[in-house]
Amino acid sequence: MIEQLYNLDIWLMYLLNVGVRNPVFNAMMPVFDYDVAWRTPLLVLWVAVMIFGNRRARLIGVGALALVLVTDPVASHIIKPMARRIRPCNVLPGINMWKEGAWLVLPDPVLEIYRGSYSMPSSHAVNTGAQALYWAWFYPRLKWILWSLGALIGYSRIYDGVHWPNDVIVGWLVGAILFALVAWALVKVLPVTAPRPRREVSSNK
């Protein structure tokens, strides 16, 4: 079973990194290699909530900050050292990798840079996945924008050659679990009510 999952990961890696390469993705995906690309829209949302929001909105902003303080350490300092998974750029020949402003086709000496930097899970996927779920839960009108951004950032880690597909999937799952824990604590501990589903207004009275 483990071998089959690994072979599937290899097949998906070549498909998503090599098979679908195109000029649009080559120009777009490297943008998300930098943390500022995903942190900026979330920071703008957070600042807007903290400045213009009411008391409930500010408490939601506090919860979002707490979520960041949980997701990154859990992914980078707990799970990655336990999983100790080697990055695809250290294993697979012929994949494309974005590094220092240029696309490289591996193998290349640059892959030595990533030795000791583990792969599972993708911290980008954990952080952005958790934040996308969190903000979309409290502000459902933004859900498709946030979920699309999270999906795009997750895929960029595969396209840029630094994460396996399963790294991203596991990252989203970890982010979802941490989101659920923080959202539950926020609703239970702080005076923040969970969003209520809209009621359909019946035309038959």
Show the domains of the chain with their CATH numbers: 2-189 (1.20.144)
Residue 201 predicted with pLDDT over 50: no
- For residue range 43-75, list pLDDT tens digits in order: 888 888 888 878 778 888 888 888 888 998 999
d(CA 174, CA 167): 10
| Residue-by-residue DSSP string for 12-78 | HHHIIIIIT--HHHHHHGGGGGSHHHHHHHHHHHHHHHHHHS-HHHHHHHHHHHHHHHHHHHIIIII
**Phi, psi dihedrals of residue 98, rounded to the nearest 5°:** -90, 125
pLDDT at 203 (0 to 100): 47
Cis peptide preceding 109, ω within 30 of 0: no
Contacts of 123 (CB under 8 A, 6+ apart): 72, 75, 76, 80, 171
Q: Cβ distance 162 to 89 under 8 Å? A: yes
**Phi, psi dihedrals of residue 163, rounded to the nearest 5°:** -140, 150
- Confidence band of 149 (pLDDT split at 50, 70, 90): confident
Q: Cβ distance 56 to 187 under 8 Å? A: no
Q: Cβ distance 30 to 191 under 8 Å? A: no
Show the tokens assigned to 199: 């009621």
Burial class (CB in 10 A: 0-12, 13-18, 19+), 72: middle
- For residue range 9-54, list pLDDT tens digits in order: 899 999 999 999 999 999 989 888 777 767 777 788 888 888 887 8
pTM strictly above 0.85: no
Whose tokens are 């690994």? That residue is 6
Whose tokens are 């954990």? That residue is 126
> CA 195: distance to chain centroid?
23
